[in-house]
Homo-oligomer: A and B are copies of this chain.
Amino acid sequence: MTTTRDILIDTATELFLGRNFGAVGTTELCKSAGVNKGTLYHYFPSKSDLLAAAIERYATSFGQAFRDIADSDAAPEEKLRQLFDVPARANRDWKTRHGFAQGCLVGNMSLELGAVDIPVREAIKHALTTWKAPVRDILHQLIETGSLARIDCDKGADVVIGLIQGGLLLAKAQNDPSHITLLAPGALAHLNSLKP
């Protein structure tokens, strides 16, 4: 069952991803969600809190996709590469529908609001933590199979997320989704060069 709250979160995700947080007004957002102003503020104390909820849902969704990859029976090297396919697929779909690369809600909001809105930054931090767990597991698997040196996997997970976000940024800057996976082929070599 899709509740009004769900509709608000999904609409917010769609609109904030398509443009940005500041460029989407609450009036437009409510109209797009088929809901009245007051209803938004019945469920969320502020526009920022709606965004935080959207980030949390977005993080959970992508986190689950990462988890599915980590738990699959593919080879660990293959899993590492597949991580980059998750945002790549999302962006390809979006660009087909709307004509430009939108990036990642977490990355976008991080650079727009990371220095301004502390609650949102906390939601972003939590999103990154959620994502790091399955990535860390894949790195452990790589070590077990001998494909990766005994590096610090927590730091390694940060590196992988940095590679993904770096590619996403290039893709949006140049409006070319193919850049998203630009940093995928070198990921394993990159990780292997980290000091244990």
Cα–Cα, bound, A193→B173 (Å): 25
**Do residues A161 and B170 form an inter-chain contact, with CB atoms below 8 A?**
yes
Cα–Cα, bound, A166→B20 (Å): 19
**Do residues A18 and B162 form an inter-chain contact, with CB atoms below 8 A?**
no
Cα–Cα, bound, A107→B100 (Å): 17
Min CB distance, A163 to chain B, in Å?
Answer: 6
A186 interface residue, CB < 8 Å from B?
A: yes
Cα–Cα, bound, A121→B174 (Å): 8
Cα–Cα, bound, A159→B190 (Å): 12
Residues on the B chain within 8 Å of A169, using CB: 107, 110-111, 162, 165-166, 169
A20-B22, A22-B21, A111-B107 known; A165 vs B170 contact (CB < 8 Å): yes
Q: Which one of B111, B112, B170 lies within 8 Å of A158 (CB-CB)?
A: B170
A13 interface residue, CB < 8 Å from B?
A: no
Cα–Cα, bound, A167→B158 (Å): 9
Q: Chain A interface (Cβ within 8 Å of chain B)? A: 18-23, 100-103, 106-108, 110-116, 121, 124-125, 128, 155, 158-159, 161-167, 169-170, 172-175, 179, 182-183, 185-195
13 A-B pairs within 8 Å (CB atoms) are namely A19-B115, A19-B116, A22-B22, A111-B112, A111-B172, A112-B112, A114-B175, A124-B173, A125-B173, A155-B182, A162-B179, A163-B183, A189-B189
